[in-house]
């Protein structure tokens, strides 16, 4: 059987510290980000309205509310699997119109 007599079939590995390069851990450290990018905050739950409630508040059809979102005239929030609207955004839309 061909192999190394002193270590079985495994090749011999040097454990001497003279061959191993020395590294300064501080020189290799990657700087951590100082602050995370701010995320868009979701308004408090008591000011969020469904599409139906937003349509009633604006006195418009639900389809019109969805059209306003597509056009970028009204901001919407995803809460779970549903769409919600902030009352302040709806009031701002009324003032602009």
Q: pLDDT tens across 38-85, in order?
A: 656 666 767 899 999 999 999 999 999 999 999 999 999 998 889 999
Q: 8: phi > 0 → left, psi -120 to 50 → alpha, else beta; which?
A: left
Is residue 71 in some structural domain?
Answer: yes
Is residue 79 in some structural domain?
Answer: yes
Q: Which domain holds residue 56?
A: 49-97
User: Has residue 16 got a pLDDT over 60?
Assistant: no
Is residue 94 in some structural domain?
Answer: yes
Is residue 57 in some structural domain?
Answer: yes
Q: What pLDDT shows up at residue 28?
A: 58
The model's pTM: 0.53
Positive or negative: CA dihedral 40, 44, 45, 49: negative
Mean of pLDDT over the chain: 77
Is residue 41 in some structural domain?
Answer: no
CB 57 within 8 A of CB 89: no
């Amino acid at each position: 059987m061909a192999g190394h007599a002193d270590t079985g079939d495994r090749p011999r590995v040097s454990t001497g510290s003279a061959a191993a390069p020395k590294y300064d851990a501080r020189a290799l450290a990657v700087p951590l980000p100082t602050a995370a990018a701010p995320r868009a905050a979701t308004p408090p739950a008591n000011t969020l309205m469904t599409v139906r409630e937003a349509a009633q508040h604006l006195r418009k059809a639900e389809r019109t509310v969805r059209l306003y979102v597509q056009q970028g005239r009204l901001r919407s929030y995803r809460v779970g699997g549903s769409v919600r609207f902030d009352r302040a955004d709806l009031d701002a839309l009324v003032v602009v119109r």
